[in-house]
Structure 1
Amino acid sequence: MDISVLVKTFVAVFVLADALGNAPIFLVLTKGMESEQRDNVVNRASIVATGVLLLFAFGGKWILKYLEISMGSLRVAGGLLLLLIALQMLQGELDTPVVDETRDVAITPLAFPLLAGPGTLTAVMLLMSESPNAHLSVVVGIVSAMLVTWFIVRLSARVDHLIGPEGAVIITKLLGFLLAALAVEIGSAGIRELFLT
């Protein structure tokens, strides 16, 4: 096992998955859920994100090539998806408690594109192609990073009762604005890649 490749993969995936940045968004999206429901959402989101990352690590280039989808298009789609969520947050549509039966946020937007976004998918594809003799190291790096991410996001649910209703509204609006900016950044990077390169 190549330790340098493992460490490089771990750092890249952990930073791009941005567990600390996504933890507050998770709290907003799971408002109104019981503790057990939130834990289930985190578990499903982490498993799906890890599965997607491993799938793209091994077959991403072929999948995109077969479907004739460029990374630029993937970035634009991810940006649009995040922008829709951000607009809902800014308009207060996510302020009302909604339980898991009516709104499943584990797959979208938590697993994809927040935890396993275009940047993370690109990184694992590149790391796998750059390390043809160290695939195991890349896989262990991905799984380790997602385990740490799972742990951080899972702990964030315990903070929910500390912020109170007013704090939740303020945080929702602020995060909606920041998420909108992130969505535009991801989408514009995709547009530049599609039309200016």
Structure 2
Amino acid sequence: MDISAVLTITFTLFAVIDIIGSVPLLASLKQKMGGINELKATLISGGLMILFLFVGEPFLQLLGIDVKSFAVGGSIVIFILGLEMVLGHEFFKSDGDPKSGTVVPIAFPLIAGSGTLTTIISLRANYDEIPVLLGILVNLIFIYLVLHSLDFITKLLGPAGMLAIRKFFGVILLAIAVKIFAANAPGLLS
């Protein structure tokens, strides 16, 4: 097994998932929903990533959805979440049940969003399944640790630090959403 391939895949997924950049949004969602089931969010997002590793493109084709359309749909959700972070207006309304919020929007699209899933399909085109699977598993461990430590991270940063990071990463999320949209939208309407 090629260790350099595993490291490349791991760092690529780490950058795309951007769990550190999502800390302010995750903390806000945790507060609104009354909690997050960290293990469930990690397992569901991991399940989606592994599913897409093995059957992602054929599954989308079965539904009549191409990878570009999937990416554009996910970019719109990410854009709305970014707007919420920057503007301070609540677009995502929680029903107060941590179970529902754990799946949407935390497991999908924040962790295992269209960017992550399309990246996995792209990585699979360039690498064997085992290194990609190992890269996913390493990222899932880190995701769980971050989700489990949200209260500590929030306390460490304090309210002003969280607000500053929230606004900054909100702009980053908006930029990522625009980039995903711009890369995948051309040709969809023709």
User: Aligned-pair distance for 1:168?
Assistant: 5.5
Distance 2:92 2:50 in 1: 34
- 1:79-119 Cα shifts (integer Å, max 9, x gaps): 211233344442532799x6742783222222222211222
Q: 1:93 is matched with which residue? A: 90
Distance 1:160 1:95 in 2: 21
User: Aligned-pair distance for 1:78?
Assistant: 0.7
For the pair 1:189 / 2:186, whether they are aligned, the reply is no
For the pair 1:143 / 2:137, whether they are aligned, the reply is yes
CA 1:113–1:193: 2 relative to 1, 3 Å: farther
Q: What code does the residue aligned with 2:140 have?
A: M
Calculate percent identity across the aligned residue pairs: 29
Distance 2:7 2:101 in 1: 30
CA 1:158–1:3: 2 relative to 1, 3 Å: same
Return structure 1 stretches of 4+ with deviation > 4 angstroms: 166-178
CA 1:10–1:113: 2 relative to 1, 3 Å: same
Q: What code does the residue aligned with 2:4 have?
A: S
For the pair 1:157 / 2:151, whether they are aligned, the reply is yes
**Aligned ranges for residues 1-197 of structure 1 at < 5 Å?**
1-32=1-32, 37-38=35-36, 40=37, 42-89=38-85, 90-93=87-90, 100-101=96-97, 104-131=100-127, 134-161=128-155, 163-164=158-159, 172=166, 175-192=169-186, 194=188
Distance 1:82 1:7 in 2: 26
CA RMSD of aligned residues (A): 3.1
What TM-score, normalized to structure 1? 0.77
Contact 1:31 1:95 (8 Å CA) reproduced: no
CA 1:23–1:124: 2 relative to 1, 3 Å: same
Structure 1 residue ranges without an equivalent (≥5): none
Contact 1:28 1:168 (8 Å CA) reproduced: no
Give aligned pairs, total: 188
Structure ID, larger Rg: 1
Contact 1:86 1:176 (8 Å CA) reproduced: yes
CA 1:32–1:135: 2 relative to 1, 3 Å: closer
What TM-score, normalized to structure 2? 0.79
